[in-house]
Chain A
Amino acid sequence: MGRLLSHRLAVPLVIALLVVALSFAMPSNFYYRVAALVWISALAVIGLNLLMGYAGQVSLGHAGFFGIGAYAVAVLPAQFGLHPLVAALLGAFATAALAFLVGRPILRLKGHYLAVATLGFGILIAMTISNEAWLTGGPDGMPVERLTLFGWRVRGADTWYWITGGLLVIGAWIACNLVASPTGRALRALHDSEVAARVAGIDVARAKLTVFVISAVYASVAGSTLALLNGFVTPDKANFLHSIELVTMVVLGGMGSVLGSLAGAAILVVLPQVLTGFHDYEHMILGLIMMVIMIVLRAGIVPSLAALFKGRWKK
Protein backbone atom coordinates (compact mmCIF):
# COMPACT_ATOMS: atom_id res chain seq x y z
CA MET A 1 0.00 0.00 0.00
CA GLY A 2 2.73 2.44 0.99
CA ARG A 3 4.48 1.90 -2.28
CA LEU A 4 1.31 2.56 -4.24
CA LEU A 5 0.59 5.74 -2.31
CA SER A 6 4.04 7.07 -2.95
CA HIS A 7 3.80 6.12 -6.61
CA ARG A 8 0.57 8.09 -6.91
CA LEU A 9 2.41 11.23 -5.87
CA ALA A 10 5.91 10.48 -7.11
CA VAL A 11 5.21 10.55 -10.84
CA PRO A 12 3.27 13.84 -10.91
CA LEU A 13 5.90 15.30 -8.59
CA VAL A 14 8.72 14.27 -10.90
CA ILE A 15 6.89 15.86 -13.82
CA ALA A 16 6.25 19.05 -11.82
CA LEU A 17 9.93 19.27 -10.90
CA LEU A 18 10.85 18.72 -14.54
CA VAL A 19 8.55 21.53 -15.65
CA VAL A 20 10.04 23.91 -13.08
CA ALA A 21 13.65 22.87 -13.69
CA LEU A 22 13.37 23.15 -17.48
CA SER A 23 12.00 26.66 -17.19
CA PHE A 24 15.44 27.78 -15.99
CA ALA A 25 17.07 26.34 -19.08
CA MET A 26 14.95 28.04 -21.73
CA PRO A 27 17.07 30.27 -23.95
CA SER A 28 14.20 31.78 -25.95
CA ASN A 29 10.49 31.91 -26.57
CA PHE A 30 10.85 29.29 -29.27
CA TYR A 31 11.99 26.75 -26.69
CA TYR A 32 9.11 27.63 -24.40
CA ARG A 33 6.76 27.01 -27.29
CA VAL A 34 8.23 23.62 -28.17
CA ALA A 35 8.10 22.57 -24.52
CA ALA A 36 4.45 23.65 -24.30
CA LEU A 37 3.73 21.51 -27.35
CA VAL A 38 5.41 18.58 -25.60
CA TRP A 39 3.27 19.05 -22.48
CA ILE A 40 0.09 19.16 -24.58
CA SER A 41 0.96 16.05 -26.57
CA ALA A 42 1.96 14.27 -23.38
CA LEU A 43 -1.45 15.02 -21.90
CA ALA A 44 -3.23 13.37 -24.83
CA VAL A 45 -0.75 10.48 -24.77
CA ILE A 46 -1.29 9.82 -21.04
CA GLY A 47 -5.00 9.46 -21.79
CA LEU A 48 -4.43 7.12 -24.70
CA ASN A 49 -1.95 5.16 -22.60
CA LEU A 50 -4.64 4.51 -20.00
CA LEU A 51 -6.63 2.83 -22.75
CA MET A 52 -3.74 1.05 -24.49
CA GLY A 53 -1.21 0.37 -21.77
CA TYR A 54 -3.52 -0.46 -18.89
CA ALA A 55 -6.75 -1.73 -20.42
CA GLY A 56 -5.05 -3.24 -23.48
CA GLN A 57 -7.47 -1.72 -26.00
CA VAL A 58 -6.27 0.16 -29.07
CA SER A 59 -7.69 3.33 -30.60
CA LEU A 60 -6.64 4.63 -33.99
CA GLY A 61 -9.19 7.42 -33.81
CA HIS A 62 -8.07 9.50 -30.88
CA ALA A 63 -7.15 12.47 -33.06
CA GLY A 64 -10.89 12.72 -33.70
CA PHE A 65 -11.47 13.46 -30.00
CA PHE A 66 -8.50 15.82 -30.07
CA GLY A 67 -10.13 17.59 -33.02
CA ILE A 68 -13.47 17.94 -31.24
CA GLY A 69 -11.74 19.66 -28.33
CA ALA A 70 -9.79 21.93 -30.66
CA TYR A 71 -12.80 22.94 -32.76
CA ALA A 72 -14.99 23.42 -29.67
CA VAL A 73 -12.85 26.38 -28.56
CA ALA A 74 -12.75 27.69 -32.14
CA VAL A 75 -16.38 27.34 -33.15
CA LEU A 76 -18.35 27.95 -29.93
CA PRO A 77 -16.84 31.39 -29.11
CA ALA A 78 -17.07 32.48 -32.76
CA GLN A 79 -20.67 31.35 -33.25
CA PHE A 80 -22.25 31.81 -29.84
CA GLY A 81 -19.87 34.18 -28.10
CA LEU A 82 -19.07 31.65 -25.36
CA HIS A 83 -16.01 32.08 -23.19
CA PRO A 84 -13.19 29.80 -24.44
CA LEU A 85 -13.01 27.98 -21.11
CA VAL A 86 -16.73 27.25 -21.22
CA ALA A 87 -16.26 26.13 -24.80
CA ALA A 88 -13.43 23.79 -23.77
CA LEU A 89 -15.62 22.36 -21.02
CA LEU A 90 -18.53 21.82 -23.42
CA GLY A 91 -16.09 20.23 -25.87
CA ALA A 92 -14.94 17.82 -23.16
CA PHE A 93 -18.55 16.96 -22.31
CA ALA A 94 -19.46 16.45 -25.96
CA THR A 95 -16.40 14.24 -26.39
CA ALA A 96 -17.33 12.19 -23.34
CA ALA A 97 -20.89 11.76 -24.59
CA LEU A 98 -19.74 10.77 -28.06
CA ALA A 99 -17.12 8.36 -26.71
CA PHE A 100 -19.80 6.82 -24.49
CA LEU A 101 -22.21 6.31 -27.39
CA VAL A 102 -19.61 5.04 -29.85
CA GLY A 103 -17.68 3.08 -27.25
CA ARG A 104 -20.56 0.79 -26.36
CA PRO A 105 -20.77 -1.01 -29.70
CA ILE A 106 -17.12 -0.52 -30.73
CA LEU A 107 -15.50 -1.92 -27.59
CA ARG A 108 -17.18 -5.28 -28.12
CA LEU A 109 -14.64 -5.75 -30.88
CA LYS A 110 -11.16 -7.02 -30.23
CA GLY A 111 -7.68 -6.58 -31.66
CA HIS A 112 -7.51 -5.68 -35.34
CA TYR A 113 -11.27 -5.28 -35.60
CA LEU A 114 -11.27 -2.72 -32.82
CA ALA A 115 -8.35 -0.94 -34.49
CA VAL A 116 -10.20 -0.67 -37.81
CA ALA A 117 -13.46 0.43 -36.18
CA THR A 118 -11.77 3.24 -34.21
CA LEU A 119 -9.84 4.16 -37.34
CA GLY A 120 -13.07 4.56 -39.28
CA PHE A 121 -14.59 6.60 -36.47
CA GLY A 122 -11.60 8.97 -36.41
CA ILE A 123 -11.72 9.43 -40.17
CA LEU A 124 -15.42 10.22 -39.93
CA ILE A 125 -14.78 13.08 -37.50
CA ALA A 126 -11.88 14.43 -39.57
CA MET A 127 -14.02 14.38 -42.73
CA THR A 128 -16.90 16.13 -40.98
CA ILE A 129 -14.56 18.87 -39.83
CA SER A 130 -13.08 19.26 -43.34
CA ASN A 131 -16.42 19.26 -45.11
CA GLU A 132 -18.52 21.55 -42.94
CA ALA A 133 -16.69 24.63 -44.19
CA TRP A 134 -19.48 27.03 -43.20
CA LEU A 135 -18.85 26.15 -39.57
CA THR A 136 -15.22 25.09 -39.38
CA GLY A 137 -13.56 26.92 -42.25
CA GLY A 138 -13.00 23.59 -44.01
CA PRO A 139 -9.47 22.49 -44.89
CA ASP A 140 -8.19 26.04 -44.40
CA GLY A 141 -9.01 25.94 -40.71
CA MET A 142 -10.22 28.87 -38.65
CA PRO A 143 -8.87 31.38 -36.13
CA VAL A 144 -9.38 30.91 -32.40
CA GLU A 145 -10.30 33.79 -30.14
CA ARG A 146 -7.53 34.68 -27.68
CA LEU A 147 -8.02 33.40 -24.16
CA THR A 148 -8.87 36.11 -21.63
CA LEU A 149 -8.98 35.28 -17.92
CA PHE A 150 -10.57 37.88 -15.63
CA GLY A 151 -9.64 40.68 -17.98
CA TRP A 152 -6.09 39.42 -18.39
CA ARG A 153 -5.14 38.43 -21.95
CA VAL A 154 -3.21 35.18 -21.87
CA ARG A 155 -0.26 35.55 -24.22
CA GLY A 156 3.39 34.75 -24.56
CA ALA A 157 5.06 31.38 -24.96
CA ASP A 158 6.32 31.39 -21.37
CA THR A 159 2.79 31.86 -19.97
CA TRP A 160 1.54 28.98 -22.04
CA TYR A 161 4.51 26.92 -20.88
CA TRP A 162 3.26 27.19 -17.31
CA ILE A 163 -0.42 26.65 -18.16
CA THR A 164 0.23 23.54 -20.22
CA GLY A 165 2.81 22.28 -17.71
CA GLY A 166 0.24 22.67 -14.94
CA LEU A 167 -2.39 20.82 -16.95
CA LEU A 168 0.07 18.01 -17.61
CA VAL A 169 0.85 17.63 -13.89
CA ILE A 170 -2.87 17.51 -13.08
CA GLY A 171 -3.47 14.99 -15.86
CA ALA A 172 -0.60 12.82 -14.66
CA TRP A 173 -1.86 12.99 -11.09
CA ILE A 174 -5.37 11.92 -12.08
CA ALA A 175 -3.99 9.09 -14.22
CA CYS A 176 -1.72 7.81 -11.43
CA ASN A 177 -4.62 7.85 -9.00
CA LEU A 178 -6.85 6.02 -11.44
CA VAL A 179 -4.22 3.34 -12.04
CA ALA A 180 -3.73 2.75 -8.31
CA SER A 181 -7.47 2.57 -7.64
CA PRO A 182 -9.58 -0.62 -7.77
CA THR A 183 -10.73 0.52 -11.23
CA GLY A 184 -7.11 0.63 -12.36
CA ARG A 185 -6.50 -2.84 -10.97
CA ALA A 186 -9.59 -4.04 -12.82
CA LEU A 187 -8.25 -2.55 -16.06
CA ARG A 188 -4.90 -4.29 -15.71
CA ALA A 189 -6.77 -7.49 -14.88
CA LEU A 190 -8.94 -7.45 -17.99
CA HIS A 191 -5.86 -6.64 -20.06
CA ASP A 192 -4.37 -9.89 -18.78
CA SER A 193 -7.35 -12.26 -18.89
CA GLU A 194 -10.90 -11.20 -19.65
CA VAL A 195 -12.44 -14.47 -18.47
CA ALA A 196 -10.69 -14.32 -15.13
CA ALA A 197 -11.64 -10.65 -14.78
CA ARG A 198 -15.27 -11.49 -15.41
CA VAL A 199 -15.39 -14.31 -12.88
CA ALA A 200 -13.71 -11.97 -10.37
CA GLY A 201 -16.84 -9.86 -10.67
CA ILE A 202 -15.55 -7.16 -13.01
CA ASP A 203 -18.06 -5.77 -15.48
CA VAL A 204 -15.58 -5.89 -18.34
CA ALA A 205 -17.70 -3.94 -20.83
CA ARG A 206 -18.25 -1.12 -18.36
CA ALA A 207 -14.61 -0.96 -17.29
CA LYS A 208 -13.50 -0.68 -20.93
CA LEU A 209 -16.12 1.97 -21.66
CA THR A 210 -15.09 4.01 -18.61
CA VAL A 211 -11.45 4.14 -19.61
CA PHE A 212 -12.36 4.85 -23.25
CA VAL A 213 -14.41 7.87 -22.19
CA ILE A 214 -11.68 9.10 -19.83
CA SER A 215 -8.99 8.78 -22.48
CA ALA A 216 -11.18 10.61 -25.01
CA VAL A 217 -11.62 13.49 -22.56
CA TYR A 218 -7.83 13.73 -22.14
CA ALA A 219 -7.51 14.06 -25.92
CA SER A 220 -10.26 16.65 -26.05
CA VAL A 221 -8.71 18.82 -23.32
CA ALA A 222 -5.32 18.58 -25.04
CA GLY A 223 -6.96 19.61 -28.34
CA SER A 224 -8.65 22.63 -26.76
CA THR A 225 -5.38 23.71 -25.15
CA LEU A 226 -3.44 23.41 -28.39
CA ALA A 227 -6.04 25.44 -30.28
CA LEU A 228 -5.92 28.21 -27.66
CA LEU A 229 -2.13 28.21 -27.70
CA ASN A 230 -1.89 28.39 -31.49
CA GLY A 231 -4.76 30.79 -31.98
CA PHE A 232 -5.66 28.80 -35.05
CA VAL A 233 -7.03 25.32 -35.84
CA THR A 234 -6.72 23.16 -38.96
CA PRO A 235 -8.33 19.77 -39.62
CA ASP A 236 -4.97 17.97 -39.75
CA LYS A 237 -4.89 17.70 -35.94
CA ALA A 238 -8.07 15.61 -36.20
CA ASN A 239 -6.89 13.32 -38.95
CA PHE A 240 -5.59 9.82 -39.16
CA LEU A 241 -1.89 10.71 -39.19
CA HIS A 242 -2.21 12.49 -35.87
CA SER A 243 -3.94 9.41 -34.39
CA ILE A 244 -1.01 7.32 -35.53
CA GLU A 245 1.38 9.82 -34.05
CA LEU A 246 -0.35 9.54 -30.66
CA VAL A 247 -0.26 5.74 -30.77
CA THR A 248 3.43 5.88 -31.72
CA MET A 249 4.15 8.13 -28.75
CA VAL A 250 2.45 5.64 -26.42
CA VAL A 251 4.40 2.65 -27.72
CA LEU A 252 7.71 4.48 -28.03
CA GLY A 253 7.57 5.92 -24.52
CA GLY A 254 6.25 2.74 -22.93
CA MET A 255 2.82 1.16 -22.63
CA GLY A 256 1.36 1.43 -19.17
CA SER A 257 3.76 4.14 -18.05
CA VAL A 258 2.74 7.73 -17.33
CA LEU A 259 6.34 8.93 -17.45
CA GLY A 260 6.74 6.96 -20.66
CA SER A 261 3.90 8.95 -22.19
CA LEU A 262 5.88 12.12 -21.54
CA ALA A 263 9.06 10.58 -22.96
CA GLY A 264 7.29 9.42 -26.12
CA ALA A 265 5.67 12.79 -26.65
CA ALA A 266 8.94 14.61 -26.02
CA ILE A 267 10.84 12.55 -28.58
CA LEU A 268 8.28 12.88 -31.35
CA VAL A 269 7.79 16.62 -30.80
CA VAL A 270 11.39 17.63 -30.17
CA LEU A 271 13.26 15.41 -32.62
CA PRO A 272 11.69 16.87 -35.78
CA GLN A 273 12.74 20.33 -34.54
CA VAL A 274 16.28 19.14 -33.88
CA LEU A 275 16.51 17.31 -37.18
CA THR A 276 15.36 20.18 -39.40
CA GLY A 277 19.04 20.88 -40.02
CA PHE A 278 19.22 17.64 -42.01
CA HIS A 279 16.68 18.97 -44.52
CA ASP A 280 15.78 16.16 -46.92
CA TYR A 281 16.97 13.43 -44.58
CA GLU A 282 14.90 14.60 -41.63
CA HIS A 283 12.18 11.96 -41.90
CA MET A 284 14.62 9.21 -42.71
CA ILE A 285 16.65 9.91 -39.59
CA LEU A 286 13.51 10.24 -37.46
CA GLY A 287 12.27 6.87 -38.70
CA LEU A 288 15.65 5.31 -38.09
CA ILE A 289 15.82 6.61 -34.52
CA MET A 290 12.35 5.25 -33.82
CA MET A 291 13.26 1.83 -35.18
CA VAL A 292 16.45 1.68 -33.15
CA ILE A 293 14.59 2.67 -29.98
CA MET A 294 12.00 -0.04 -30.50
CA ILE A 295 14.61 -2.69 -31.25
CA VAL A 296 16.87 -1.82 -28.31
CA LEU A 297 14.23 -0.80 -25.79
CA ARG A 298 11.42 -3.05 -26.83
CA ALA A 299 9.13 -2.38 -23.88
CA GLY A 300 9.30 1.34 -24.62
CA ILE A 301 11.78 3.89 -23.33
CA VAL A 302 10.76 4.30 -19.69
CA PRO A 303 9.82 0.69 -18.76
CA SER A 304 12.91 -0.71 -20.50
CA LEU A 305 15.29 1.72 -18.83
CA ALA A 306 13.59 1.18 -15.46
CA ALA A 307 14.06 -2.59 -15.80
CA LEU A 308 17.69 -2.07 -16.81
CA PHE A 309 18.48 0.08 -13.77
CA LYS A 310 16.65 -2.26 -11.42
CA GLY A 311 18.77 -5.12 -12.74
CA ARG A 312 21.96 -3.08 -12.18
CA TRP A 313 21.11 -2.28 -8.59
CA LYS A 314 20.34 -5.85 -7.71
CA LYS A 315 23.72 -6.94 -8.96
Chain B
Amino acid sequence: MHSTEPLLRVEALRSAYGRIEALHGVSLSVAAGEIVALVGGNGAGKTTLLRTLSGVQPMTGGSLSFQGRDISRASPHARVAAGIAQVPEGRQIFAPLAIEDNLRLGAYLRKDAEIASDLERIYSLFPVLKERRRNPAGGLSGGQQQMLAIGRALMSRPTLLLLDEPSMGLAPVLVDQVFEIIQRLNREDGVTVFLVEQNAFAALSIATRGYVIETGEIAIEGKGSALLADERVREAYLGV
Protein backbone atom coordinates (compact mmCIF):
# COMPACT_ATOMS: atom_id res chain seq x y z
CA MET B 1 0.00 0.00 0.00
CA HIS B 2 2.81 2.43 0.87
CA SER B 3 4.76 1.82 -2.26
CA THR B 4 1.69 2.05 -4.44
CA GLU B 5 0.06 5.06 -2.77
CA PRO B 6 -1.43 6.97 -5.72
CA LEU B 7 -0.76 10.66 -6.31
CA LEU B 8 -4.43 11.47 -5.95
CA ARG B 9 -6.94 9.32 -4.11
CA VAL B 10 -10.63 10.12 -4.16
CA GLU B 11 -12.84 8.11 -1.86
CA ALA B 12 -16.63 8.04 -1.71
CA LEU B 13 -16.69 11.70 -2.74
CA ARG B 14 -20.05 13.45 -2.49
CA SER B 15 -20.96 16.94 -3.60
CA ALA B 16 -24.24 18.79 -3.86
CA TYR B 17 -25.73 21.99 -5.23
CA GLY B 18 -28.09 22.98 -2.46
CA ARG B 19 -30.24 19.94 -1.81
CA ILE B 20 -29.52 18.28 -5.12
CA GLU B 21 -26.65 15.84 -4.89
CA ALA B 22 -24.52 15.70 -8.02
CA LEU B 23 -21.87 13.19 -6.94
CA HIS B 24 -23.08 10.12 -5.04
CA GLY B 25 -19.84 8.71 -3.69
CA VAL B 26 -17.18 8.70 -6.40
CA SER B 27 -13.98 6.73 -5.82
CA LEU B 28 -11.01 6.85 -8.12
CA SER B 29 -7.26 7.25 -8.09
CA VAL B 30 -4.55 8.76 -10.23
CA ALA B 31 -0.99 7.45 -10.02
CA ALA B 32 2.03 9.65 -10.67
CA GLY B 33 2.90 9.84 -14.36
CA GLU B 34 -0.49 8.71 -15.61
CA ILE B 35 -2.95 10.36 -17.94
CA VAL B 36 -6.37 9.48 -16.56
CA ALA B 37 -9.52 10.34 -18.45
CA LEU B 38 -12.99 10.68 -17.01
CA VAL B 39 -15.65 10.49 -19.68
CA GLY B 40 -19.41 10.73 -19.52
CA GLY B 41 -22.42 12.51 -20.90
CA ASN B 42 -23.90 15.90 -20.10
CA GLY B 43 -24.83 16.32 -16.45
CA ALA B 44 -23.07 13.15 -15.35
CA GLY B 45 -21.02 15.13 -12.82
CA LYS B 46 -17.70 15.47 -14.63
CA THR B 47 -17.24 19.18 -14.08
CA THR B 48 -18.56 18.97 -10.53
CA LEU B 49 -15.96 16.34 -9.74
CA LEU B 50 -13.16 18.45 -11.15
CA ARG B 51 -14.34 21.57 -9.33
CA THR B 52 -14.48 19.58 -6.10
CA LEU B 53 -10.91 18.39 -6.68
CA SER B 54 -9.64 21.95 -7.07
CA GLY B 55 -11.71 23.10 -4.13
CA VAL B 56 -13.95 25.71 -5.76
CA GLN B 57 -16.96 23.43 -5.20
CA PRO B 58 -17.53 22.27 -1.61
CA MET B 59 -17.68 18.53 -0.92
CA THR B 60 -20.36 17.10 1.32
CA GLY B 61 -18.83 13.71 2.04
CA GLY B 62 -15.95 11.36 1.38
CA SER B 63 -12.27 12.18 1.37
CA LEU B 64 -9.53 13.48 -0.90
CA SER B 65 -5.85 12.86 -0.49
CA PHE B 66 -2.97 14.17 -2.54
CA GLN B 67 0.56 12.79 -2.18
CA GLY B 68 -0.67 10.87 0.83
CA ARG B 69 -1.95 13.97 2.64
CA ASP B 70 -5.60 14.65 3.31
CA ILE B 71 -6.68 17.79 1.42
CA SER B 72 -10.44 17.51 1.94
CA ARG B 73 -10.54 20.78 3.86
CA ALA B 74 -7.75 22.65 2.05
CA SER B 75 -8.69 25.92 0.33
CA PRO B 76 -8.25 26.23 -3.45
CA HIS B 77 -5.08 28.32 -3.16
CA ALA B 78 -3.56 25.82 -0.71
CA ARG B 79 -4.21 23.07 -3.26
CA VAL B 80 -2.49 25.09 -5.97
CA ALA B 81 0.45 25.53 -3.63
CA ALA B 82 0.48 21.76 -3.04
CA GLY B 83 0.76 21.16 -6.79
CA ILE B 84 -2.73 20.84 -8.22
CA ALA B 85 -3.60 23.17 -11.10
CA GLN B 86 -6.94 23.30 -12.84
CA VAL B 87 -7.78 24.42 -16.35
CA PRO B 88 -11.39 25.37 -15.70
CA GLU B 89 -14.30 24.63 -18.00
CA GLY B 90 -14.83 27.28 -20.63
CA ARG B 91 -11.17 28.30 -20.20
CA GLN B 92 -11.97 31.31 -17.97
CA ILE B 93 -9.04 33.35 -19.13
CA PHE B 94 -8.77 36.93 -17.88
CA ALA B 95 -9.97 38.59 -21.06
CA PRO B 96 -9.04 42.24 -20.42
CA LEU B 97 -5.56 41.38 -19.14
CA ALA B 98 -2.53 40.95 -21.40
CA ILE B 99 -1.64 37.39 -22.38
CA GLU B 100 1.60 37.61 -20.44
CA ASP B 101 -0.24 38.89 -17.36
CA ASN B 102 -2.54 35.85 -17.60
CA LEU B 103 0.49 33.58 -17.59
CA ARG B 104 2.15 35.45 -14.74
CA LEU B 105 -1.03 35.05 -12.70
CA GLY B 106 -0.55 31.32 -13.01
CA ALA B 107 2.71 31.77 -11.10
CA TYR B 108 1.01 33.93 -8.48
CA LEU B 109 2.08 31.73 -5.56
CA ARG B 110 5.65 31.32 -6.75
CA LYS B 111 8.52 33.49 -5.61
CA ASP B 112 11.42 31.66 -7.26
CA ALA B 113 13.74 32.97 -9.95
CA GLU B 114 12.68 30.47 -12.61
CA ILE B 115 9.39 32.10 -13.49
CA ALA B 116 10.98 33.83 -16.49
CA SER B 117 12.42 30.60 -17.89
CA ASP B 118 9.08 28.83 -17.36
CA LEU B 119 7.44 31.64 -19.27
CA GLU B 120 9.82 30.96 -22.17
CA ARG B 121 8.99 27.26 -21.96
CA ILE B 122 5.27 28.06 -22.31
CA TYR B 123 6.05 30.34 -25.26
CA SER B 124 8.02 27.57 -26.93
CA LEU B 125 5.02 25.24 -26.49
CA PHE B 126 2.61 27.87 -27.79
CA PRO B 127 4.50 30.28 -30.07
CA VAL B 128 1.32 32.14 -30.98
CA LEU B 129 1.06 33.36 -27.39
CA LYS B 130 4.50 34.91 -27.56
CA GLU B 131 3.73 36.88 -30.70
CA ARG B 132 0.77 38.51 -29.04
CA ARG B 133 1.86 38.54 -25.42
CA ARG B 134 1.14 42.25 -24.91
CA ASN B 135 -2.39 42.02 -26.31
CA PRO B 136 -5.51 41.45 -24.25
CA ALA B 137 -6.27 37.74 -23.94
CA GLY B 138 -9.87 38.33 -25.01
CA GLY B 139 -8.70 38.76 -28.61
CA LEU B 140 -7.48 35.18 -28.92
CA SER B 141 -9.43 32.52 -30.79
CA GLY B 142 -11.02 29.64 -28.89
CA GLY B 143 -8.11 27.29 -29.48
CA GLN B 144 -5.55 29.90 -28.53
CA GLN B 145 -7.50 30.68 -25.36
CA GLN B 146 -7.41 26.99 -24.48
CA MET B 147 -3.66 27.02 -24.96
CA LEU B 148 -3.40 30.11 -22.76
CA ALA B 149 -5.50 28.46 -20.06
CA ILE B 150 -3.25 25.40 -20.13
CA GLY B 151 -0.17 27.60 -20.11
CA ARG B 152 -1.51 29.55 -17.16
CA ALA B 153 -2.08 26.34 -15.21
CA LEU B 154 1.43 25.10 -16.07
CA MET B 155 2.96 28.30 -14.70
CA SER B 156 2.21 27.07 -11.18
CA ARG B 157 4.48 24.07 -11.90
CA PRO B 158 1.81 21.55 -11.06
CA THR B 159 2.40 17.93 -10.17
CA LEU B 160 -1.16 17.20 -11.18
CA LEU B 161 -2.89 19.00 -14.01
CA LEU B 162 -6.70 18.94 -14.04
CA LEU B 163 -8.25 19.64 -17.42
CA ASP B 164 -11.95 20.34 -17.85
CA GLU B 165 -13.18 19.68 -21.38
CA PRO B 166 -10.05 20.85 -23.21
CA SER B 167 -11.70 20.01 -26.55
CA MET B 168 -14.86 22.02 -25.96
CA GLY B 169 -15.68 24.36 -28.81
CA LEU B 170 -12.56 23.57 -30.79
CA ALA B 171 -12.25 22.58 -34.45
CA PRO B 172 -11.17 18.92 -34.90
CA VAL B 173 -7.67 19.87 -36.04
CA LEU B 174 -7.21 21.98 -32.93
CA VAL B 175 -8.52 19.17 -30.73
CA ASP B 176 -5.71 16.99 -32.06
CA GLN B 177 -3.17 19.72 -31.40
CA VAL B 178 -4.32 20.27 -27.83
CA PHE B 179 -4.28 16.56 -27.04
CA GLU B 180 -0.83 16.22 -28.57
CA ILE B 181 0.43 18.93 -26.27
CA ILE B 182 -1.15 17.23 -23.26
CA GLN B 183 0.72 14.05 -24.15
CA ARG B 184 3.94 15.98 -24.60
CA LEU B 185 3.59 17.61 -21.17
CA ASN B 186 3.05 14.21 -19.65
CA ARG B 187 5.99 12.63 -21.45
CA GLU B 188 8.56 15.44 -21.36
CA ASP B 189 7.73 17.32 -18.17
CA GLY B 190 6.39 14.40 -16.17
CA VAL B 191 3.10 16.17 -15.40
CA THR B 192 0.37 13.82 -14.24
CA VAL B 193 -2.89 14.59 -16.02
CA PHE B 194 -6.50 14.06 -15.03
CA LEU B 195 -8.91 15.19 -17.69
CA VAL B 196 -12.66 15.09 -18.07
CA GLU B 197 -14.08 15.00 -21.55
CA GLN B 198 -17.24 14.59 -23.53
CA ASN B 199 -15.12 13.71 -26.50
CA ALA B 200 -14.59 10.17 -25.22
CA PHE B 201 -12.68 8.94 -28.24
CA ALA B 202 -10.01 11.65 -28.14
CA ALA B 203 -9.63 11.42 -24.37
CA LEU B 204 -9.44 7.61 -24.13
CA SER B 205 -7.00 7.44 -27.04
CA ILE B 206 -4.31 9.25 -25.05
CA ALA B 207 -5.28 7.98 -21.59
CA THR B 208 -3.39 5.40 -19.59
CA ARG B 209 -6.58 4.61 -17.71
CA GLY B 210 -10.14 5.79 -17.91
CA TYR B 211 -13.32 6.06 -15.89
CA VAL B 212 -16.86 6.37 -17.17
CA ILE B 213 -19.14 8.43 -14.96
CA GLU B 214 -22.94 8.18 -15.14
CA THR B 215 -25.33 10.29 -13.04
CA GLY B 216 -22.80 10.97 -10.33
CA GLU B 217 -21.33 7.47 -10.03
CA ILE B 218 -18.45 5.64 -11.62
CA ALA B 219 -19.99 3.06 -14.00
CA ILE B 220 -16.98 1.49 -15.70
CA GLU B 221 -13.23 1.73 -15.26
CA GLY B 222 -10.26 0.25 -17.04
CA LYS B 223 -7.29 0.85 -19.31
CA GLY B 224 -7.82 3.53 -21.94
CA SER B 225 -7.46 1.09 -24.80
CA ALA B 226 -9.73 -1.44 -23.08
CA LEU B 227 -12.45 1.15 -22.62
CA LEU B 228 -12.20 2.15 -26.26
CA ALA B 229 -12.94 -1.47 -27.13
CA ASP B 230 -15.63 -1.96 -24.49
CA GLU B 231 -19.07 -2.63 -26.01
CA ARG B 232 -20.97 -0.50 -23.50
CA VAL B 233 -18.63 2.46 -23.94
CA ARG B 234 -18.68 2.18 -27.70
CA GLU B 235 -22.45 2.16 -27.78
CA ALA B 236 -23.04 4.96 -25.30
CA TYR B 237 -20.21 7.38 -26.01
CA LEU B 238 -18.49 6.59 -29.24
CA GLY B 239 -21.60 6.25 -31.36
CA VAL B 240 -20.62 2.94 -32.96
Contact = CB atoms under 8 A, between A and B. Distances in A.
B105 to A, nearest CB: 5
Interface string B75-90: 1110011000110100
B219 interface: no
A198 B77 contact: yes
A195 interface: yes
Contact of A192 (B55, B86, B94, B106): B94
B108 interface: yes
A291 interface: no
B76 A198 contact: yes
Nearest to A201: B80
Interface string B96-122: 110001001110110000000000000
A188 interface: yes
Contact of B80 (A182, A189, A192, A200): A200
B85 A199 contact: yes
A109 B137 CA distance: 28
B59 to A, nearest CB: 15
Interface residues of B, number: 27
A182 B104 contact: yes
A192 B108 contact: no
A7 to B, nearest CB: 12
B94 A202 contact: no
Contacts of B77: 198, 201-203
Contacts of B108: 182, 185-186, 200-202
Given A199-B56, A202-B77, A189 B94 contact: yes
Contacts of B106: 200-201
Nearest to A188: B97
A203 B75 contact: yes
B209 interface: no
Given A200-B108, A200-B152, A200-B156, A192 B75 contact: no
B147 interface: no
Contacts of B95: 192
Contacts of A188: 94, 96-97, 101
B129 interface: no
A188 B86 CA distance: 19
Nearest to B116: A1
A189 B102 CA distance: 8
B233 to A, nearest CB: 29
B177 interface: no
Given A196-B88, A201-B109, 20 more contacts: A182-B104, A185-B101, A185-B104, A186-B105, A189-B94, A189-B97, A192-B94, A192-B95, A192-B96, A192-B97, A193-B93, A196-B94, A198-B54, A199-B92, A200-B105, A200-B106, A200-B153, A201-B77, A201-B85, A202-B108
Interface of A: 3, 182, 185-186, 188-189, 192-193, 195-203
28 contacts: A3-B134, A182-B104, A182-B108, A185-B104, A186-B105, A188-B94, A188-B97, A192-B95, A193-B92, A193-B93, A195-B56, A196-B88, A196-B94, A197-B94, A197-B105, A198-B55, A198-B56, A198-B77, A199-B76, A199-B153, A200-B106, A200-B108, A200-B156, A201-B76, A201-B81, A201-B108, A202-B108, A203-B75
**Top 3 closest A-B pairs, CB basis?**
A201-B80, A196-B92, A199-B86
